[in-house]
Structure formats: structure tokens, C-alpha cells
């Protein structure tokens, strides 16, 4: 939590002025019982109406000044808290954006969303409350005790006993509830996780009639969260009644002691009223302090969780491999003894992969489900680093290439077509923000998306809903391909990006891609043999290992895995030789 205070930098003035104005309000509030005592002793006892009105005016003035001070303090506290939360949220978002795929997988989407929303909101509330009440409540408590000593030492000794008892209750509850609030937030993570999963997969759930099971699963997690919240809430709720009992018991003793002192002439009636008012002030402030402690406890737990995300650092990059040239010509892309093991995985996803690619070649990647096709192309994009071996571009290990440079070189169309809320134009400009209208239409035409764009009202300026929900799967895929083509990348990766296209559109897309400049090296991942049939090289994977590499004809003659895949899609008699 302490590490987050750096984001209060720039709000020093607000952090100083907010408590100062609260102290000013508290100071004026401490004078109120003395004014009331004076009214009782000098005004009411002598029936001096003028004096009563005069002191009543002073009370009104104290109230107005206190109100102005409180509003000013709230303004500065809110400004500091909101500014702090804004800077913290921006810094957390930037940090998450910089995390590697491995760390993002490890942290989990639902956890990161909770940290950036609920947790930061709790921290914001905690900062606001601390700036307003952290100094005010202790000042009122100890100030009231000191003022009571100036009136009567014997009566004030009751304060000396009551205040430590109250402190034990408040801080005891705080010590018990802090770890419990951490559990509450962790349970909230799980509820958010299953909620996100259900919203994302709602169609699948309905298709398999799993609504009842998912409701039960959600209900169990939600009940666990409710039980935890109720348990910690009950402990926190103990604070108020126990503090009321202690304070009201102290008031009873004060009334008894005061009555005795008045009878013997050591105290006036007004002074007894003042002492009781001071005890009432302590009661009110301790209730506020109790609520402050609960809020701060939650804020501390949430702050620690946010700080834990900042502590996630990208793994240190292993020393770059040295390219072992086997000939005079250095290949454009080369995999040398590459293995990949995901964090927490029991076995390697890719094992001892070796191949090389010339600039401008088209490479097909095929294999069974889960054989590591996406993992292989993700390594070319630099999303995951090789566990052993090296991935080289122009003889340089990808580990040595700056992320920005590699990002400029690679254009990738992922398995899941993702579009962002905005317009078709704004989505395509992600590929190249300086692209002209002509370049956008050129990419749209190559991606076989012209009819999609021209059929929309507004064409390039047609509205795109979040995640492209107002477009079909095939339309989204074609627009994501167009977005990658706008970039004119040196390396184009199409990761099963035509799966939602019909065979005719897929064939047109493949023909169009052949017209791209020879400087673009294309990787096509597909389950369809027809899609990669005419590739310069086809990489066949099986269980993370290289089962074969070569042209369609070579693999059809020598690779059993490729034969199995190909003949499962086309009869042996006809095949797809003419596609």
C-alpha cells in the first residue's frame, strides 16, 4: 500500500489543506460546550435574555465557520483522492499493457479487471476518508479530554479510562477484519471470473442447456462471498454497540460524579453539561473513527492487491542465442532447436522445432487441434519467448529486437477476430494511422471485404459495436485481415483467420494474397488443407513436434500426418489438386 502513495505526488497542497481545514473545524467545535456552559450558568440561571441571544449568535457563527471549513476540507480531500485514483488507474493500465502474455495468463483477466475497478475505488474512498477524518477524530477525542481537565480533573479521569478501552475495541476489530477483507476481495475475484465466463459463453451454455448448472455454480460462489461479507460485517458491526456502551457508561458516571460535585459547590450546572457534551463529542467521533477504520481496512487490503499487480514483472529475457549459419545465405526467419513451455504447464508445448524461411515465401502451418500451431506463430510475433533455442529474423534473435520494431514488422490476424467500438475506418487505422483512403480500400479489396463495407450505411464510417457484435463472424474476420494488410507488414500471420469464410471467399482471399509484394513473408495457419495447398512450404505439427516440412506434393508422398489430414478432407481419387 505504501508504494502507491507516490501517485499522490502533485496533490501535496490538497493533502495539507484538507486536514488543516478539518482541524480548524474541530477547533471551533471544541469551543461549543464552553459556550453552552456559559449560557447555562450566566444566561439561563440569571434569565438574561440578551446574554443568551449574544452567546447564541456566537454558536451560530461557530457553526457557519465550521461548515465552511468542512466543505473546503471535503473539496480538497475529494480532489486529491480522485486525482490519486485517476493517476493510479492510468499507471496500472499502462503496466498491464506492458506485461508479457505469460504474465497476463498468470494474473487472469477477471483479477486485473477487479484491481482496476473495485479495488482502486476502495483505495480512493480510503484516501478521501483519511484526509478528512484521520486527524480530526483524534484531535476531537484528545482535545475534548484536555478541555474536560480544564473544567474538572476528577470528572476528566473518567475520560482517561474510557478512551483506552475504546481504542482497544477499535484497533482490535481492525486487526481481525483486515485479513478477512482480503478474503472477501479474493472471493469477489472468483464471482467476477465466473460472471465474465458466463457472459462470454452464454450461447454455448444455452446450446447445451447448462443454465441450471451454471446458475448453481454461480450461486455457490456468490453464497460464499455473501457468507464472508456477513461474517466480517458482523465483526465490524460489534464496534459501534460496544463503543456506545463504553461511552454511555462513562456519561452515566459523569452525571453521577457531576451531581456530587455540583452539590458540594465544586462544579456549576453548566460545567457538568459541558463535560457531558465533550463525552458526547467523543462518542460521535469514535463512531466516525470506527467507520473510518472499516473503510481504511478495506482500502489497505485493496491497495495491497493493486500493489501486487505492480510487482508483477516481465521475466528476465534469457541470453540471446547465436545464429548458426549453415550456408552463405542467412534465412529471413529461422527456428533453431526451439522449445516452448508455458508457465505452470506440465509438458512442453513445442519441442525442438527447426526450420528456415526465405523472405517473401508463403508458409502454411497445419496439424491437429492442440498441436502448437498458434504457439509457433505467436513466437514469431514475440508474444512468447522460447524456453530453449532461438527464433531469428535476419540472423538476429527476436529477444534482441525491440518490441516496437518487431511490432512494426509483424501484422497478425488472431484466431478470434477482435474489433473495437468505433467505426470501420477507426479499426482499420489501427494498422496504419496515416493510411490514406485509397490504401484503406486497397486493403479492404484484398481481404474480400469490399461488399461488407459498401453494404453498410456510411461505408468506412459505419458504426462498429464493441467486439464487432453487429457484424457476422465472416465479416469480422475479413475486416481484421484488412486491418493487418493496411499495415503492409514484412511478416503477415493469418492464424486460422479464414475459418468463418465459405470456400469460395477463402479461395478468392488466397488468390488476392498472392498479389501482395514479394517482400511480405506470410504464415497461414489453417485446419483446411486447401488453404495452404499452394504454399511454398508447409509445416506439419503433431503433439508439439515437427512431423514434416515441404511442399504439398512432397508431404503427400512422405508425411503420414499430412496424408491423414489431407485425405480426411478430400477423397483419394479426386483430391484437390486443381484448387
pLDDT one-digit tens code per residue, 259-269? 877 777 777 88
- What pLDDT does residue 439 have? 87
Here the cell at position 112 is 486485473
pLDDT tens sequence across 484-506: 888 888 888 888 877 777 778 87
Which uninterrupted H or E stretch holds 365? strand 362-367
- What pLDDT does residue 577 have? 46
Q: What is the CATH number of domain 333-569?
A: 3.40.50.300
Express as a percent the part of the chain with pLDDT over 90. Answer: 6
Mean pLDDT computed over 152-178: 80
Mean pLDDT computed over 459-479: 86
Is 70 exceeded by the pLDDT of residue 517?
no
Confidence category of residue 579, pLDDT binned at 50, 70, 90? very low
Which residues of the chain does CATH 1.20.1560.10 include? 2-310
Beta strands (DSSP E) in 23-117 are: none
Is 80 exceeded by the pLDDT of residue 240?
no
> Helix axis angle, 153-200 relative to 211-263, nearest 10°?
170
Q: Residue 571 burial by CB count (10 A; 0-12/13-18/19+): exposed, middle or buried?
A: exposed
Residues 543, 546, 547, 553: what is their CA dihedral angle, to the nearest 10 degrees?
Answer: 140
pLDDT tens sequence across 525-565: 888 888 888 888 999 988 888 888 988 888 888 888 888 88
Confidence category of residue 325, pLDDT binned at 50, 70, 90? low
pLDDT tens sequence across 360-385: 888 899 888 878 888 888 888 888 88
CA-closest candidate to residue 427, choices 391, 384, 467, 387: 467
pLDDT tens sequence across 60-90: 998 898 889 989 999 999 999 999 999 999 9
Which residues of the chain does CATH 3.40.50.300 include? 333-569
Confidence category of residue 574, pLDDT binned at 50, 70, 90? very low
Q: Rounded to whole angstroms, how far apart are CA atoms 74 and 11?
A: 14
Q: Rounded to whole angstroms, how far apart are CA atoms 76 and 82?
A: 10
Mean pLDDT computed over 318-342: 74
pTM higher than 0.75 for the full model? no
Is 60 exceeded by the pLDDT of residue 328?
no
Q: Which residues contact 353 (CB under 8 A, 6 or more apart)?
A: 335, 337, 338, 339, 376, 389, 545, 546
Second CATH level (architecture) for the domain 2-310: Up-down Bundle (1.20)
Q: Rounded to whole angstroms, how far apart are CA atoms 510 and 446?
A: 9
SS3 of residue 353 by DSSP: strand
- Are residues 53 and 112 in contact, defined by beta-carbon separation less than 8 angstroms? no
pLDDT tens sequence across 7-16: 888 888 888 8
Average pLDDT, the chain: 83
Amino acid at each position: 500500500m505504501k508504494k502507491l502513495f507516490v501517485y499522490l505526488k502533485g496533490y501535496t497542497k490538497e493533502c495539507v489543506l484538507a486536514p488543516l481545514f478539518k482541524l480548524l473545524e474541530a477547533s471551533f467545535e471544541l469551543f461549543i460546550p464552553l459556550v453552552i456552559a456559559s449560557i447555562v450558568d450566566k444566561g439561563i440561571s440569571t434569565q438574561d435574555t440578551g446574554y443568551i441571544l449574544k452567546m447564541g449568535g456566537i454558536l451560530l457563527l461557530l457553526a457557519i465557520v465550521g461548515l465552511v471549513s468542512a466543505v473546503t476540507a471535503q473539496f480538497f480531500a475529494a480532489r486529491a483522492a480522485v486525482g490519486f485514483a485517476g493517476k493510479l488507474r492510468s499507471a496500472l493500465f499502462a503496466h498491464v499493457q506492458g506485461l508479457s502474455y505469460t504474465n497476463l495468463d498468470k494474473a487472469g483477466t477477471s483479477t486485473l479487471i477487479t484491481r482496476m475497478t473495485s479495488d482502486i475505488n476502495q483505495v480512493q474512498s480510503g484516501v478521501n476518508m483519511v484526509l478528512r477524518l484521520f486527524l480530526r477524530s483524534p484531535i476531537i477525542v484528545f482535545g475534548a479530554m484536555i478541555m474536560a481537565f480544564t473544567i474538572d480533573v476528577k470528572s476528566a479521569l473518567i475520560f482517561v479510562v474510557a478512551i483506552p478501552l475504546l481504542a482497544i475495541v477499535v484497533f482490535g476489530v481492525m486487526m481481525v477484519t483486515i485479513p478477512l477483507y482480503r478474503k472477501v476481495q479474493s472471493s469477489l475475484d472468483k464471482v467476477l471470473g465466473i460472471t465474465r465466463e458466463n457472459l462470454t459463453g452464454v450461447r454455448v451454455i444455452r446450446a447445451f442447456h447448462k443454465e441450471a448448472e451454471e446458475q448453481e455454480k454461480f450461486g455457490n460462489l456468490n453464497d460464499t462471498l455473501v457468507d464472508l461479507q456477513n461474517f466480517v460485517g458482523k465483526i465490524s458491526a460489534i464496534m459501534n454497540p460496544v463503543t456506545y456502551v463504553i461511552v454511555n457508561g462513562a456519561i452515566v458516571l459523569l452525571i453521577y460524579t457531576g451531581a456530587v460535585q455540583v452539590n458540594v459547590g465544586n462544579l456549576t450546572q453548566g460545567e457538568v453539561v459541558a463535560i457531558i457534551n465533550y463525552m458526547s463529542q467523543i462518542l460521535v467521533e469514535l463512531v466516525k473513527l470506527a467507520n473510518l477504520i472499516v473503510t481504511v481496512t478495506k482500502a489497505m487490503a485493496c491497495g495491497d492487491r493493486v500493489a501486487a499487480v505492480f510487482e508483477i514483472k516481465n521475466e528476465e529475457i534469457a541470453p540471446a542465442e547465436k545464429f548458426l549459419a549453415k550456408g552463405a545465405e542467412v534465412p529471413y526467419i529461422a527456428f533453431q532447436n526451439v522449445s516452448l513451455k508455458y508457465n505452470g504447464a506440465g509438458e512442453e508445448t513445442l519441442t525442438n522445432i527447426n526450420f528456415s524461411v526465405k523472405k517473401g515465401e508463403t508458409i502454411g502451418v497445419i496439424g491437429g487441434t492442440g498441436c502448437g500451431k498458434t504457439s509457433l506463430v505467436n513466437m514469431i510475433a514475440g508474444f512468447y519467448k522460447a524456453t530453449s533455442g532461438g527464433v531469428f529474423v535476419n540472423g538476429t534473435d527476436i529477444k534482441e529486437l525491440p518490441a516496437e520494431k518487431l511490432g512494426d514488422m509483424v501484422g497478425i490476424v488472431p484466431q478470434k477476430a477482435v474489433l473495437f467500438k468505433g467505426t470501420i475506418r477507426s479499426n482499420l487505422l489501427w494498422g496504419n494511422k496515416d493510411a490514406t483512403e485509397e490504401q484503406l480500400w486497397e486493403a479492404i479489396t484484398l481481404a474480400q471485404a469490399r461488399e461488407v463495407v459498401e453494404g453498410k450505411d456510411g461505408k468506412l464510417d459505419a458504426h462498429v459495436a464493441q467486439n464487432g457484435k453487429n457484424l457476422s463472424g465472416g465479416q469480422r474476420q475479413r475486416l481484421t485481415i484488412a486491418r493487418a494488410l493496411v499495415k503492409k507488414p514484412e511478416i503477415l500471420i493469418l492464424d486460422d483467420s479464414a475459418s468463418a469464410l465459405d470456400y469460395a471467399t477463402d479461395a478468392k482471399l488466397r488468390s488476392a494474397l498472392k498479389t501482395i509484394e514479394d517482400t511480405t513473408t506470410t504464415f497461414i495457419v489453417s485446419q483446411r488443407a486447401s488453404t495452404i495447398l499452394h504454399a511454398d512450404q508447409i509445416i506439419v505439427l503433431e503433439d508439439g513436434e515437427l512431423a514434416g516440412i515441404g511442399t504439398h506434393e512432397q508431404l503427400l508422398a512422405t508425411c503420414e500426418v499430412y496424408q491423414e489430414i489431407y485425405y480426411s478432407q478430400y477423397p483419394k481419387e479426386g483430391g484437390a489438386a486443381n484448387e
